[in-house]
A and B are shown apart, each in its own frame.
Chain A
Amino acid sequence: MENFLQHCINGLSLGSIYALIALGYTMVFGILKLINFAHGDVYMVGAFVGYYLSAFLGLQSQPSMVSFFIVLVTSMSVCAILGFLIERIAYRPLRSSPRITALITAIGMSLLLEYVAQLVFGPDPKVFPMVLERRDLFQFGEVSLNNYHALIVSVSLTLMLLLRFLVLHTKFGKAMRAISEDITTASLLGIPTNRIISITFMLGAALAGAAGVLVGTVYPRIDPLMGVIPGMKAFSAAVIGGIGNFPGAVLGGIIMGLSEEMVAAYISSSYRDALAFGLLIFILLVKPSGFFGKYQPEKV
């Protein structure tokens, strides 16, 4: 029983990370109907920015919440800029091209980021410096809850709530929702579509960057290919929750995290990656619109 609780805690923190990344996927898909393959790599860049920043500012010698937040915010900003650039350079020119073209470009962008990262950062893994010390908060029996777990969940939650506020209660959010309904009409109504789309990308990228820093802090090994598998899993999570749907992405992320943990614990760890795809395929066959999505019939 204790083990099960431990697994739940682990699964929840893992799930929160997936949720953060999944939100980025869902936002972009909702607006552009495009799967941003490069999103997982933005997460990786976030982690590396955190790494280099900490080294640069020498924050390792003074671990604290403040250090952590400095790293977090800076990383999020850098990733936002990266998101903007990716959209501007690779996706905007292809807005009216066939989907297959945009998809291939996205794949190319993802690989480009990975290989340039290998070139610039070196292919071997790096150790993310400890910007926040680990403290056990809670221990009964064999189950332990430490401040890392709490950090991941609380930061993710905060960011998600901020996003929700943005989307539901601001004019910007309204514009975003309009564009995801029908981009042509939205632009006819005077919404600056290009600007909104860019900002959406930036927001998604910032979230991915935050996830990168969180992961770097808690699991201190980072390497240029660290975004590949989590990216795919987060995408699956977004689809499970209903792609284009925000609460769905969060739910999908949690489900993904928990099931991965359980499979690794009770069946075999070697299948934990295969699980993500298995779930994806399953959902696509059973309910392609995901948990919260709407069935959208294709109109001729």
Chain B
Amino acid sequence: MKKTSIKMSISTALFVLFSLNACTKKNDATQQASTDNAKPAASEILIGSVLSITGPEATFGISSKNAIDMVFEKQNALGGIDGKKLKLINLDNQSKPEESAIAITKLISQEKVVAVLGEVASSRSIAMAPIAQSNQIPMLSTGATNPKVTQIGDFIFRTSFIDPFQGPVLSKFILENLKLKKVAIFKDIKNDYSMGLAQFFKEHFEKNGGQIVTEQSYSAGDIDFKAQLTAIRSKKPEFVYLPGYYTDIGLILRQARELGIKVAFGGGDGWDSPKLFEIGGNASEGCYFSNHYSADAQDPMVQEFVKDYQAKYGSVPDALAALGYDSALIIIQAIRSAKSLSGPDIRDALKVIKDLKGVTGTITFNENRDPIKSAVVLKIENGKQAYVTTINP
């Protein structure tokens, strides 16, 4: 017994020391001091991004990255910022929060980026933000809508509006434009975004005289919703609020029509995808959703964006691409007007951004570092998104 434990102690000690040594050796070669904010190569500005290129939410990440690449290319063609070219370093996170944390740490401490763009989802942004905050590197989330993201610290910003704003958008629309009062809610219990939107929608709707006749839930990935839809049907709502992701919406709409539910459905920006009409088909006609931008808005800036994106990537850009586009614009503006490339200076420049014109609206950051901007309501007509109205904050 004693012999084995001595052997064991020695070998484990050797093993531990060996591995620690190996790791520290690697570091000594690649960096000097323990400061993680050393300057990058003089001719380039390194901007990091953590966007999901693989995993179930890859499409969101890919759209965003495409748009950001587009903006950076254009800017570099114009000579970059002060003669320095912009370089985007994107690390994939497999659509997972823990991987996002690893990716952002790598970007900050290994790649020495000056700012980080990401993520599109709230849960992953929340995993990343504390690391950005403690390293004093500004982080600009392209699409997270949970208010908690920017609450983590003053280095965390976002480009999209937040759930407490988006939820009431459709509520307002239903009450004032459609003039309906009885609504059923059908939310995705597995999805933080859906739960958030449903909560804020409900608060606003009930406060303004509406009535929620029933609240049902499903899990993302379910294929059969008939049980809950039958329950909804029996309560005879005039509208159904369905704040989920397009992946499930199409199927839900179909089954709803099969069961004879004829009222309009509506949701949030999670509906935004051409696949929605593919899966939903005729069932999605006449439905509404709130979104960050409308591809057929008359604004020349939007039209140019849509045209360029389509030319380069072959498809109409979705809301996430639009948000990615604006995020890139924001970060360029901030770097340009910042006193230096240090984290705190860029952060200060971001804070004071006012009336920056983007494709998702005019952007001004409020004291929580969330943008104050409008949402649009779109209607699905003839298999396409049609602009209905804009709801302002």
Contacts and interface: CB of A to CB of B under 8 A. Distances in A.
Asked if A and B are interacting partners, one says yes
Interface residues on B, range: 20 to 34
Contacts of B254: 220
A244 B380 CA distance: 50
B14 to A, nearest CB: 31
Contacts of A10: 224, 226-227
Contacts of B189: 269-270
B217 A221 contact: no
B5 to A, nearest CB: 30
B355 interface: no
Interface string B227-254: 1101101100000000000011011001
A111 interface: no
B227 A221 contact: no
Given A10-B226, A127-B275, A273 B219 contact: yes
A142 B221 contact: no
B55 interface: yes
B10 interface: no
A223 B275 CA distance: 13
A117 interface: no
Contacts of B230: 3, 6-7, 265
Most chain B CB within 10 A, of A125, A226, A265, is at: A125
A229 B223 CA distance: 11
Given A127-B279, A268-B217, A142 B260 contact: yes
B227 A261 contact: yes
B199 interface: no
A82 interface: no
Most chain A CB within 10 A, of B218, B223, B227, B251, is at: B227
Nearest to A262: B227
Contacts of B59: 124
A276 B46 CA distance: 50
A134 interface: yes
A219 interface: yes
A97 to B, nearest CB: 31
A261 B223 CA distance: 12
A185 interface: no
A219 B223 contact: yes
B147 to A, nearest CB: 24
A221 B251 contact: yes
A270 B234 contact: no
B258 interface: yes
B58 interface: yes
A157 interface: no
A163 interface: no
A265 B226 CA distance: 8
A215 B279 CA distance: 14
Contact of A269 (B217, B248, B251, B275): B217
B259 A144 contact: yes
B260 A219 contact: no
Given A14-B224, A142-B260, A221-B279, A270 B58 contact: no
B215 to A, nearest CB: 11
B225 to A, nearest CB: 8
A272 B189 CA distance: 12
A208 to B, nearest CB: 16
A194 interface: no
B244 to A, nearest CB: 13
Most chain B CB within 10 A, of A14, A123, A226, A261, is at: A123
Contacts of B224: 10, 14, 219, 261, 264
A146 interface: yes
B223 A146 contact: no
Interface in A99-152: 123-125, 127, 134, 142, 144, 146
A5 to B, nearest CB: 10
Most chain B CB within 10 A, of A7, A220, A261, A269, is at: A269
Contact of B223 (A123, A134, A142, A221): A221
A265 B176 CA distance: 33
Contact of B219 (A142, A220, A269): A269
A149 to B, nearest CB: 10
A225 interface: yes
Most chain A CB within 10 A, of B54, B217, B233, B258, is at: B258
Interface string B337-362: 00000000000000000000000000
A264 B227 contact: yes
B258 A215 contact: no
B222 interface: yes
A229 B217 CA distance: 18
Given A123-B55, A221-B279, A225-B221, A134 B234 contact: no
Given A124-B58, A124-B247, A215 B275 contact: no
B221 A269 contact: no
Interface in A212-226: 215, 219-221, 223, 225-226
A257 to B, nearest CB: 10
A64 B247 CA distance: 27
Contacts of B209: none
A79 B321 CA distance: 39
A221 B226 contact: no
Contact of A7 (B218, B227, B250, B278): B227
Interface string B53-82: 011101100000000000000000000000
Nearest to B55: A123
B105 interface: no
B216 interface: yes
Contacts of A125: 247, 275, 279
Given A219-B223, A265-B228, A269-B219, 20 more contacts: A3-B230, A7-B230, A10-B224, A14-B224, A123-B54, A123-B55, A123-B58, A124-B275, A125-B275, A125-B279, A142-B260, A221-B248, A225-B221, A226-B223, A269-B218, A269-B228, A270-B189, A270-B217, A270-B218, A272-B219
7 nearest interchain CB pairs? A264-B227, A265-B227, A219-B223, A127-B278, A10-B226, A270-B189, A127-B279
25 contacts: A3-B230, A7-B226, A7-B227, A7-B230, A10-B227, A123-B54, A124-B56, A124-B275, A142-B260, A144-B259, A144-B260, A215-B223, A219-B223, A220-B251, A220-B279, A221-B248, A221-B279, A261-B226, A261-B227, A265-B228, A265-B231, A269-B189, A269-B217, A272-B219, A273-B219
